[in-house]
Amino acid sequence: MTRNVSSCEYESQPHSVDAEETVQLQGSREEKRFHKTTNCETLMNFLKGNTGAGILALPNGFMNAGLLVGTLGIPFMALLCTHCMHTLVHCSRHLSSKLGQDSLDYSKVALYACKLGPAPIQKYGRTARRIINVFLMVTQFGFCCIYLVFVSTNIMQVVLDYTDVNISVYGYLTILLPFVLLLTMFRNLRHLALASAVANVLQILGLCIIFTDLFHNLPPTTSRPLSASISKFPLYFGTTIFAYEGIGVILPIENEMKTPEDFGGCNGVLNTGMVFISCLYVAMGFFGYLKYGEEVAGSITLNLPARPIYELVRVIFAVSVFLSYPLQFYVPLKFIWPFIKKKKKLDTTMSLNMQQLLEHLLRASLVLLTYLLALAIPKLDLFISLVGAFASSCLAMVFPCILEVIVFWDGEMGRFKWVCLVAKNVFIAAFGAFGFATGTYASIKAIVAAFS
């Protein structure tokens, strides 16, 4: 169990334990170590956490950048995101070592970075933790809304290809709502584990089929512009940064490893996974835009021909994303429900049955909120760009840089290294903040224009 300690409490505590406590602690750690993941399992979890619906939107992102700029932009942002992931892990390990804890999550890194940081900011630890949690919740709610739009538009395309039924995306969102409500009523995610595993296998199969279509009858590269208008680049930034959606799962994945020292390093799990993902992203964006040009949709699945094999791909991704909804939904619920229970003191004032009923009502209310947001912005490409620019950019680039400066504020590394560290973090954080501001503005402007 983690414990909240201030910097003063930390300094006043002894740094040793007696023999009996040491034996118990070692036994507990050995028991946990037995259930932790291998390097291969960790890599699979990492790929799963970073490869979602965002990859299918990358061809549309390339449309806002051009073939050359889009191709160069993904490795550049991958480099920045990978570095920031390493930074977050480094900060977590440094603080865990100071506190004598096994691991910290993203929000607790922010909490203890402030509490053990410079005196003027020590009182803002809980505020920093809340800010991280709010951005995590906004990101996850955004994923849920995007998933609803994604499933509805793909099912609508399948129905249009085989029937004369012409229902708008709003109608499909409404038809989908009761099924999502039922899916999110499962209080234990283990009930969905098998379905999610099957969906992941089908998703890999779907990607293979998509690439067979993209590689067939490709036009020459000269038929597409190498760069697009600079005014569209913020939309490309939002779409690309959304695709690198795994910053929130980095620490939980690393914390569950049998050998966490293998997570970093040149040939570690993080670098290996990011290289593979970035190559996949470049291939999807480049060949998707080269094949369909300005006609590319918010999801490449919507551009596939009306043939049975491609209809199957649309269904595969619709089912896969639908089954992923409760996993994304679980994150904000994990923050909101305990907060309500503690604030209203439900454990002492309400029976267990009433608490469960209230929890189900909360789940239904949050699902309805994502449904209403999806109704408000049923444009998949613009929604993805907005969520990526507003929330993902801060979590992936801005916050890790700020935290590293705070964690290593005492300058133990020496003046020159400290100056280099600050300069590097200022550059990355400024780039992320610029993408946040311009991407959010451009996405909102495009959404307003689309519905004007």
- Which pLDDT score, from 0 to 100, does residue 35 have? 56
- Which pLDDT score, from 0 to 100, does residue 126 have? 93
CA nearest to 242, candidates 437, 371, 57? 57
Per-residue HEC secondary structure of the chain comes to CCCCCCHHHHHHCCCCCCHHHHHHHHHHHHHHHHCCECHHHHHHHHHHHHCCHHHHHHHHHHHCCCHHHHHHHHHHHHHHHHHHHHHHHHHHHHHHHHHCCCCCCHHHHHHHHHHCCCHHHHHHHHHHHHHHHHHHHHHHHHHHHHHHHHHHHHHHHHHHHHCCCCCCHHHHHHHHHHHHHHHCCCCCHHHHHHHHHHHHHHHHHHHHHHHHHHCCCCCCHHHCCCCCCHHHHHHHHHHHHHHCCCHHHHHHHHHCECCHHHCCCCCCHHHHHHHHHHHHHHHHHHHHHHHHHHHCCCCHHHHCCCCHHHHHHHHHHHHHHHHHHHHHHHHHHHHHHHHHHHHHCHHHHCCHHHHHHHHHHHHHHHHHHHHHHHHHCCCHHHHHHHHHHHHHHHHHHHHHHHHHHHHCCCCCCCHHHHHHHHHHHHHHHHHHHHHHHHHHHHHHHHHHHHHC
* Tens of each residue's pLDDT in the chain, 452 residues: 333 433 344 333 433 334 443 444 344 444 445 457 788 878 877 877 677 778 999 999 999 999 999 999 999 999 999 999 999 999 999 999 989 888 888 999 999 999 999 999 999 999 999 999 999 888 888 889 999 999 999 999 999 988 888 899 999 999 999 999 998 887 665 666 666 667 778 888 889 999 999 998 899 999 999 999 999 999 999 999 998 877 777 887 888 888 888 898 888 999 999 999 999 999 999 999 999 999 999 999 999 998 999 999 999 889 888 888 887 788 788 888 888 888 888 878 888 888 888 989 999 999 999 999 999 888 888 889 999 999 889 999 999 999 999 998 876 667 778 888 899 999 999 999 999 999 999 999 998 888 87
- Which pLDDT score, from 0 to 100, does residue 15 have? 39
Q: Are 54 and 247 in contact (CB under 8 A)?
A: no
Strand partners, 257: 37
- Which pLDDT score, from 0 to 100, does residue 311 have? 92
Can you give the length of the chain in residues? 452
- Which pLDDT score, from 0 to 100, does residue 189 have? 59
pTM for the model: 0.82
Q: Are 383 and 157 in contact (CB under 8 A)?
A: no
- Which pLDDT score, from 0 to 100, does residue 87 have? 94
Structure tokens at 205: 């199969």
CA nearest to 112, candidates 121, 120, 256? 121
- Which pLDDT score, from 0 to 100, does residue 254 have? 84
Angle between helices 67-99 and 233-243 (to 10 degrees): 50
Q: Are 124 and 305 in contact (CB under 8 A)?
A: no
Looking from the CA of 337 toward its CB, the CA atoms found within 13 Å total 20
Q: What is the rounded end-to-end Cα distance, in angstroms, of the chain? A: 52
**Residue 249: count of CB within 10 angstroms of its CB:** 16
Q: In terms of C-beta density within 10 A (0-12 exposed, 13-18 middle, 19 or more buried), how is residue 293 classed?
A: middle
- Which pLDDT score, from 0 to 100, does residue 79 have? 94
Distance CA 110, CA 92 (A): 9
- Which pLDDT score, from 0 to 100, does residue 16 have? 38
- Which pLDDT score, from 0 to 100, does residue 13 have? 40
- Which pLDDT score, from 0 to 100, does residue 190 have? 60
Q: Which residue has the tokens 């916050």?
A: 399
- Which pLDDT score, from 0 to 100, does residue 339 have? 84
> Which letter, b or e, does each residue of 193-202 get, where b requires 16 or more Cβ atoms within 10 Å of its Cβ?
eebeeebbeb
- Which pLDDT score, from 0 to 100, does residue 29 have? 46
